[in-house]
Amino acid sequence: MKTVGVIGASGAVGREIVRQLELRAFPLEELRLFASEKSLGKTLPFKSESILLEKLDFAALQDLDLAFFCAGSSVSREWIPKAKGFVIDSSSAFRSEFPLIIPEINAHAIGNSRAIASPNCTATVLLMTLFKLHRLFKAKRIVASTYQAASGGGAALLQHLEEETRAHLEGRPHPPLFPFPYAFNVYPHNSSLLPSGYVEEEMKLADETRKILEDPNIQVSATCVRVPVLRAHSISANVEFHRPFRIEEIYEALEGVEGLAVFEDRRLNRFATPAEAVGKNDIFCGRFRIDPSQPNTLEFWAVGDQLLKGAALNAVQIGELLLRG
């Protein structure tokens, strides 16, 4: 890829994509960074350079051999149809149209596509833990509750959480973002509420699970909740399988799965927490236990850095797959 662009480079995911391109020595000749009005003129560091944030326009887009889109769905919807080169979209705009890829799981689904979508961050945490088990025991129904970090709502939400928490501790008033505080509080995910009573975020988890695991029959019921955590998501999942399993088979199955680490020490009653997942490429999973309330059912807990495997790392890994052709 001669020229690579990041659209939405000043956001939480965009900055992390730039960092990953450097860390992983992504082969590119030129990196161009695009941002919205308010960030124009600023620069971001890349290797030894300082790269100026530009405004995206049609001509610039034509120059890009590969464009990472992470500026939200409306920017993706406006610009991706006009792109000439390869596109990797971190937004949810085209997740049902484009191949939706987690490289460890379904790289083959890229086919000849030049435009690829990267999944919802919570779906990635769930599916990295589940895909191997699905292949062995065939998932039937998933009930999941999430513990989602501020970073999933963007850099502004992350900053708000810190500032509101500081104000709370100092007894100062702080203008809230919502009709309730976020400091020391949790709230049901505030994506659009659908007539069914589920929110969009919950339907993403369901739809993306079926698409990535390539099984339209998997049933999913999710409850998505934002917690006052900075940048790693957790999920509690109860999964019914078609086929029976022993708990030892679960641990055996997950041994050596790339990008996944079983993080637990039962003797010490120690399992992964979001703070420990921050900055790590792996998804951490554990607390696997047979749910005795129903046949062939497993409970588990999984945690992952929302900005890494949940977003930027996965997007850059897709870029690496495209390079290989």
Task: For residues 175 and 187, give the distance between their C-alpha atoms in angstroms, rounded to a whole number.
Answer: 17
Task: For residues 201 and 189, give the distance between their C-alpha atoms in angstroms, rounded to a whole number.
Answer: 7
Question: 21: which DSSP letter?
Answer: H
Tell me: does residue 290 bind its own copies (CB under 8 A).
yes
Interface stretch with its own copies, choices 39-47, 104-112, 190-198, 253-261 (CB under 8 A): 190-198
Residue 245, sorted as left (phi over 0), alpha (psi -120 to 50) or beta, turns out to be: beta
Which is nearest to 310 in space by CA: 272, 273, 277, 261? Answer: 277
- Of 23, 40, 156, 275, the residue at the interface with its own copies (CB under 8 A) is 275
Tell me: does residue 122 bind its own copies (CB under 8 A).
no
Q: Quick one: 68 or 300, whose CB is closer to its own copies?
A: 300
Q: How far is the CB of 52 from its own copies (least distance, A)?
A: 31
Task: For residues 312 and 118, give the distance between their C-alpha atoms in angstroms, rounded to a whole number.
Answer: 9
- Of 73, 113, 145, 296, the residue at the interface with its own copies (CB under 8 A) is 145
Tell me: does residue 159 bind its own copies (CB under 8 A).
no
Strands 43-46 and 49-54: antiparallel
Residues 303 and 227 sit within 8 Å (Cβ to Cβ): no
Cite the DSSP H helix spans in the chain: 12-23, 58-62, 73-79, 103-106, 121-137, 155-170, 200-212, 247-254, 274-277, 313-324
Active site residue 168: no
Interface stretch with its own copies, choices 6-14, 15-23, 87-95, 281-289 (CB under 8 A): 281-289
- Of 43, 74, 96, 294, the residue at the interface with its own copies (CB under 8 A) is 294
Question: 310: which DSSP letter?
Answer: I
Active site residue 121: yes
Q: Where on the chain is the footprint of its own copies (CB under 8 A)?
A: 141, 143, 145, 147, 161-162, 165-166, 169, 179-181, 184-188, 190, 192-193, 196-199, 219-221, 223, 225, 227-230, 234, 236, 238, 247, 266, 268-271, 273-276, 287-294, 297, 299, 301
For the annotated catalytic residues, the residue numbers are: 121, 233
